Structure 1
């Protein structure tokens, strides 16, 4: 089901994931009220990091974009705006999140991309957008859910601009 606060996308190839990430990134740049929280869920290999890399490039990251799978956090700065890309896959217990001192960062005026948020969900604020990736046939499905007013505004902007997300289910 597709409404203004959720869409389901079929992304048959990585470049379709790139296009979707570019679309969301451009929309956020148009209507930007910080902090911005985007949570990425799904099994290993379903497209979370592919999406994150494309999104980061779209919003202006020119540095080499590394996966935070081992470091847990990769940080970028564009025009005095911090961007945090977390990957909590390697956390064995949700209390490790607190031990690492990340909780206070989450309320900073910044952009947050968080992979594997379910590992620490009891400590995380509500995301603006949650994207759940899953493998499907030769590609993947992205289930996009807006969870805040800001997230719903982004979805409406994408709808209003008649963004060509032609792979809607």
Structure 2
């Protein structure tokens, strides 16, 4: 399966698609979220985390770098690396520990952590499209390919 491109009309559609990602991933894996400021990376992350069953606020980790979520038996970590000055700072954060138990890790601005992040299962690039957003979903391995196929089927 190659990449999948979807067009989402508004913030609600982005949140709904996040819930679909949560169902497909079942709370595991590594997803990179790319796109300029204001494209909806945090909105998509919020939809994914709520789709896993989290009730309550899902705040942007812009200043904390990571927000952890315990959702039943699932664990999710939402990273925002926008303010990272040097990728080596991720070593001090203990970044490798977050990937050990196959929790779901959502990473906004992954380019800021180049060289210190493992290969993702999916890379989702969000860009403007008319009044909504275009999402290019690129699988990066067999698990990502299976997820892409499932998401493509759900989108038809």
Report the TM-score, using the length of structure 2 for normalisation: 0.91
Q: 1:23 aligns with which of 16, 20, 32?
A: 20
SS in 2 for 1:84: strand
Q: CA deviation at 1:141?
A: 1.1
Structure 2 residue 96 is matched with structure 1 residue 100: no
Residue matched to 2:110: 117
Residue matched to 1:164: 155
Q: Could you say which structure has the larger radius of gyration? A: 1
Residue matched to 1:14: 11
Q: CA deviation at 1:109?
A: 2.5
Deviations 1:118-146 (A, max 9, x none): 10121111111110011222121111011
Q: Matched residue pairs, number? A: 156
Report the TM-score, using the length of structure 1 for normalisation: 0.85
Deviations 1:49-96 (A, max 9, x none): 000001110011113211101111100112233211110001011111
Q: What is the distance in 2 between the residues matched to 1:84 and 1:11?
A: 24
Unaligned runs of at least 5 residues, structure 2:
none
Q: What is the distance in 2 between the residues matched to 1:39 and 1:56?
A: 15
Q: CA deviation at 1:164?
A: 3.1
Structure 2 residue 131 is matched with structure 1 residue 135: no
Q: What is the distance in 1 between the residues matched to 2:146 and 2:41?
A: 23
Asked if the contact 1:84–1:112 (Cα under 8 Å) also holds between the matched residues in 2, the reply is yes
